[in-house]
């Protein structure tokens, strides 16, 4: 297994893309801590890999710096040095246009997606730079490259901020051999689709990406040698326009 001896923290790891990434990492021998706000969902996620040697969970609010500090103290105790951070926590809301987006929903999206990625990156980066090794992967979105009505103003803005964070940190940390990758998926069949203003049909779900497709992209990035850096990677459903 190519990741034996490696460790990872995956935010938003209780479901959807985060869970698929965590499962893929565990299957390759990585010790993984998943985190999210709901402990019952995290427990269900852990049960998908009952024989994993080190697959653990910790509840967290990534928008809260104190909570994130507690998360990484626990991660250090359970896993040791963190080799890989995957920022995958994210939300959206049905009322997402500028005319009906509630200010508190704007704050939640910015807090979880953008500030949450900053908070977690800030925790792992100093040790990675000191060791001269580490990988941070931000699960952004096509909405973080092309703002449009599908994502909505708050989600688009949060994903653009997350994307800029990743590019900026990647440029700063490259000299210390720390790699940062932004992955921009198009439409993915995950629970976040339940927050669309218009229900998504089973036929449409069948035509878009699956969470395991994004996980496969993560494994590709993780499996590259330290000399190779992938700043940005876009993965789209075959039938979705990228304009």
- Which residues participate in catalysis according to the annotation? 155
Strand partners of residue 7? 31
Which residue blocks in the chain are alpha helix, DSSP H?
A: 16-27, 39-46, 65-79, 103-109, 116-131, 153-173, 202-207, 211-223
Task: Tell the burial category of 156 from Cβ atoms under 10 Å away from its Cβ (0-12, 13-18, 19+).
Answer: buried
Cα–Cα distances (Å) from 222 to 27, 99, 100, 134, 195, in that order, read 13, 41, 40, 10, 31
How far is Cα 170 from Cα 229, in angstroms, rounded to an integer?
A: 9
Strand partners of residue 84? 8, 135
Q: Which residues contact 128 (CB under 8 A, 6 or more apart)?
A: 82, 134, 136, 173, 176, 178
CA 162, 167, 168, 169: dihedral to nearest 10 degrees?
90
How far is Cα 192 from Cα 112, in angstroms, rounded to an integer?
A: 14
Q: How many CB atoms lie within 10 A of CB 131?
A: 13
Distance of CA 54 to the CA centre of its chain: 20
């Amino acid at each position: 297994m190519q990741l034996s001896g490696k460790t990872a923290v995956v935010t938003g790891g209780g479901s959807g893309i985060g869970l698929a990434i965590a499962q893929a990492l565990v299957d390759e021998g990585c010790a993984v801590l998943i985190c999210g706000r709901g402990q019952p969902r995290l427990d269900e996620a852990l049960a998908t890999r009952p024989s994993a040697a080190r697959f653990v969970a910790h509840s967290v609010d990534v928008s809260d710096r104190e909570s994130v500090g507690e998360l990484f103290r626990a991660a250090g105790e359970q896993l040791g040095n963190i080799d890989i951070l995957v920022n995958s926590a994210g939300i959206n809301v049905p009322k997402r246009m500028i005319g009906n987006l509630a200010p508190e929903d704007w704050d939640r999206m910015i807090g979880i997606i953008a500030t949450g990625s900053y908070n977690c990156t800030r925790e792992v980066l100093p040790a990675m730079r000191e060791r001269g090794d580490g990988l941070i992967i931000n699960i952004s979105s096509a909405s973080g490259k092309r703002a449009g009505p599908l994502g909505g103003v708050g989600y688009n803005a949060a994903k653009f901020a997350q994307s800029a964070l990743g590019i900026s940190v990647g440029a700063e940390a490259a000299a210390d051999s720390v790699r940062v990758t932004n992955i921009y998926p198009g439409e993915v069949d995950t629970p976040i689709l339940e927050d669309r203003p218009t229900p998504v049909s089973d036929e449409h779900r069948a035509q878009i990406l699956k969470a395991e497709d994004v996980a496969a992209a993560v494994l590709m990035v993780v499996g590259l040698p330290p000399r190779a850096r992938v700043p940005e990677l876009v993965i789209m459903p075959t039938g979705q326009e990228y304009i």
